[in-house]
Amino acid sequence: MVTMDLSGKVALVTGGSRGIGRAICLRLARAGAAVAVNHHGTDAEGVVEAIEGGGGRAVAMRADVARKDEVETMVRATVDAFGGLDILVNNAGICPFHNFLDMPEDLWDRVQAVNLKGAFLCSQAAARVMVEQGRGGRIISISSISALVGGGEQTHYTPTKAGIHSLMQSLAIVLGPHGITCNSVMPGTIATDINREDLAEPGKRAYMERRIPLGRIGEPDDIAGPVVFLASDAARYVNGAGLLVDGGLFVNLQ
């Protein structure tokens, strides 16, 4: 029977200490997976405690996803902690809003390194483990509606989100023969730390709510559910897909 039960599975979630990543960790754990919670600038112990308090298994994994050595150490530590790796969620990402004309090169480089290079490094390290295990796996990357549209102060960010989706499409071809599915989730406007200041501007939140047919800004848990679906047997034949989760924002041109 096809279910969304993840009992016996091991998941690694990058950027799992807050926002969308935190919600994903909690939902994966509730579905039965053991979860390695990656963090870098924010402590992940609160997420680990919440999972363990609910009877689940979790461990915090500190690593900069833009550094190959730290990524490989993190993946090995996950396998050592839980005996394998079945699910990777590439969620870590940054988006420091900035004007294009005076954008520093080092800011561009850091956004590319964390968002796109990080997804590549983590996917490569995790896929090597999954291929060796021989039992298939799931790689799910958090792209964005920004992969499909532009952003005036996001000229460094939107290319990474388009690149992440393209990476998943290519990996779907490469890793499909090994039983590893690779998909991306494209959130719309979700209330997180990244856009907290932007949505706090007078009228901005109301404007976005009017644009979204469902009438509200998304919450991190709205993304976590689709991730659990893609991680489960219910999505066993979904490969190379981009799942837009935006409350209808993209299709509303009115």
Write the DSSP assignment of 33-98 as a string of letters.
Answer: -EEEEEESSS--HHHHHHHHHTT--EEEEE--TT-HHHHHHHHHHHHHHHS---EEEE--------
* pLDDT score, position 36: 98
Q: Which of 17, 146, 161, 232 is catalytic?
A: 161
Per the annotation, the verdict on 157 as an active-site residue is: yes
Decide: 121 and 88 in contact? Cβ < 8 Å. Answer: no
Q: Is the pLDDT assigned to residue 1 strictly greater than 70?
A: no
**Reported pTM:** 0.95
Decide: 56 and 30 in contact? Cβ < 8 Å. Answer: yes
Helix (H) or strand (E) holding 184: strand 180-187
CATH number at residue 221: 3.40.50.720
Per the annotation, the verdict on 207 as an active-site residue is: no
Domain extent at residue 15:
10-245
Residue recorded with tokens 């406007």: 189
Mean pLDDT of the region 4-12: 97
Q: Does residue 2 lie within any of the structural domains?
A: no
Q: For all residues of the chain together, what is the average pLDDT?
A: 95
Q: Does residue 79 lie within any of the structural domains?
A: yes
Q: Which of 9, 117, 123, 157 is catalytic?
A: 157
Tell me which of 148 and 202 has the higher pLDDT: 148
Per the annotation, the verdict on 170 as an active-site residue is: no
Q: Is the pLDDT assigned to residue 29 strictly greater than 70?
A: yes
Q: Is the pLDDT assigned to residue 199 strictly greater than 90?
A: no
Between strands 87-90 and 137-142, the pairing is parallel
The span from the CA of 118 to the CA of 82, in Å, is 22
- pLDDT band at 215, cuts 50/70/90? very high
Q: Does residue 225 lie within any of the structural domains?
A: yes
Task: Write the CA distances from 63 to 112, 181, 222, integer angstroms.
Answer: 17, 24, 26
The span from the CA of 133 to the CA of 250, in Å, is 39
* pLDDT score, position 53: 97
Nearest Cα residue to 167 out of 205, 130, 223, 119: 119
DSSP-derived 3-state class of residue 185:
strand
Report the number of distinct structural domains present in the chain: 1
Q: Does residue 4 lie within any of the structural domains?
A: no
Helix (H) or strand (E) holding 245: strand 242-245
Q: Which of 141, 143, 144, 232 is catalytic?
A: 144
Q: Does residue 252 lie within any of the structural domains?
A: no
Q: Does residue 251 lie within any of the structural domains?
A: no
Q: Does residue 217 lie within any of the structural domains?
A: yes
Q: Does residue 254 lie within any of the structural domains?
A: no
